Amino acid sequence: MKNTEFQLVICIVNTGFSPIVMEAAKEAGARGGTIIHGRGTANREAEKLFQIVVQPDKEIVMIIVKSEIKDQVLKSINAKAGLETEGQGIAFSLPVDRTAGIS
């Protein structure tokens, strides 16, 4: 498997919690990110299973980070905006094969 220099960290949180995600990511070494609006499609079964109320409006935070800080960024985001918080965020990472415009 190819080791990539960068990872894309994606976090989906309830609307209004993206600043908390960015703050957590920056504390772990990230520089910045992009926030887009989204709408969740969870159903009542998911609400019962996880015992949470699912807000349909979401914010998606995308952050490209160096691979060596990915785990710290994910842990920091989870601590401040994860499922156990009001943000009810989920976060994951994907490898980035190529980049342009990143110094």
Q: What is the pLDDT of residue 80?
A: 97
How much is the pLDDT for 34? 97
Half-sphere CA count of 48, side-chain side, radius 13 A: 3
For the chain (103 residues), the mean pLDDT of every run of 10, in chain order, is: 84 96 98 93 68 79 97 98 93 93 76
Nearest partner of 62 among 87, 32, 98, judged by Cα = 32
Q: Quote the pLDDT of residue 101.
A: 83
pLDDT value at residue 40: 79
